[in-house]
């Protein structure tokens, strides 16, 4: 069976591409809710409703395991979904777990009390909704103490990337980095807390400087999924098909996605 990858728009394609590279034989179905993007400026109930609808559509595609390749959906909806909405034979995983594991160098299954870690200052760049949810700080606090997180809501950045306005997007990155560095001049780590942002990872790195280690999620999520499927072979079925779906206009989304990843992609109507 295919693994489902869900995002509010194009950003999850960075995760889709990383999984394809890590596991070329693993079938994937992708759903972008382009008709309702971006999620980062929506309210919590709206994000939850739209995320549930997207996950159910991927279940209809035969995807018993769905990755929320959207930090906003992972931050705002994932925990609420896992607390009673998801059937016993389905799985929905967010993108925060691999990121927290990498930052703290602790496996998710490690249930020992929070402890000191090497990193003391983290810069978080994310959508306004992800920042407002404080989901990253909450999950981090379960595993690490003594870590200061300074979060920068990057309003408008997803829209610029979805519109393929890279000049504007790059200017926004530099502006958001400058704003954060005024509040936290010397972060050790920077977390790109939106799956759109890896497209501009080189701009973030240049603006932050050589001394800051930048964590981008796509490769971390792909490696984590590979490990998960090894431990849960029941989630891998015989169906080798997979599709790219969108709630928006398929031709427009196909064109935008092709520009976004610089490779041909063909979307169908969800």
Q: Tell me which residues are annotated as active site.
A: 70, 194
Q: How many CA atoms lie within 13 A of 137 on its CB side?
A: 18
Q: What is the 3-state secondary structure (H, E, C) of 43-71?
A: CHHHHHHHHHHHHHHHHHCCCCEEEECCH
Closest CA to 29 of 54, 47, 53: 54
By the 8 A CB rule, do 130 and 16 touch? no
**Residue 53 main-chain phi, psi, to 5 deg:** -65, -40
What is the Cα gyration radius of the chain?
18
Task: Give 132: exposed, middle or buried? Use CB within 10 Å, 0-12, 13-18, 19+.
Answer: middle
Provide the token pair at 70: 């959207």
């Amino acid at each position: 069976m295919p693994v489902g990858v869900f995002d509010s728009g194009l950003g999850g394609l960075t995760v889709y591409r990383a999984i394809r590279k890590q596991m070329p034989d693993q079938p994937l179905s992708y759903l972008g809710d382009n008709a309702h993007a971006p999620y980062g400026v929506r309210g919590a109930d709206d994000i939850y409703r739209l995320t549930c609808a997207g996950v159910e559509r991927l279940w209809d595609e035969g995807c018993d395991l769905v990755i929320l390749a959207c930090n906003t959906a992972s931050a705002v909806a994932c925990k609420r979904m896992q607390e009673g909405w998801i059937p016993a034979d389905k799985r929905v995983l967010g993108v925060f777990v691999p990121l927290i594991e990498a930052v703290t160098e602790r496996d998710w299954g490690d249930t020992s009390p929070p402890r000191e870690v090497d990193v003391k200052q983290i810069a978080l760049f994310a959508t306004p909704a992800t920042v407002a949810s404080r989901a990253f700080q909450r999950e981090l606090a379960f595993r690490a103490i003594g870590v200061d997180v300074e979060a920068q809501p990057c309003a408008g950045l997803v829209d610029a990337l979805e519109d393929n306005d890279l000049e504007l997007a790059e200017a926004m990155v530099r502006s958001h980095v400058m704003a954060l560095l005024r509040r936290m001049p010397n972060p050790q780590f920077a977390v790109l807390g939106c799956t759109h942002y890896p497209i501009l990872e080189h701009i973030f790195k240049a603006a932050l400087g050589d001394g800051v280690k930048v964590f981008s999620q796509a490769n971390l999520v792909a490696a984590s999924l590979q490990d998960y499927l090894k431990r849960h072979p029941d989630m891998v079925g015989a169906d080798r098909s997979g599709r790219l779906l969108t709630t928006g206009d398929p031709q427009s989304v196909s064109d935008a996605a092709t520009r976004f990843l610089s490779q041909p992609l063909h979307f169908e109507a969800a």
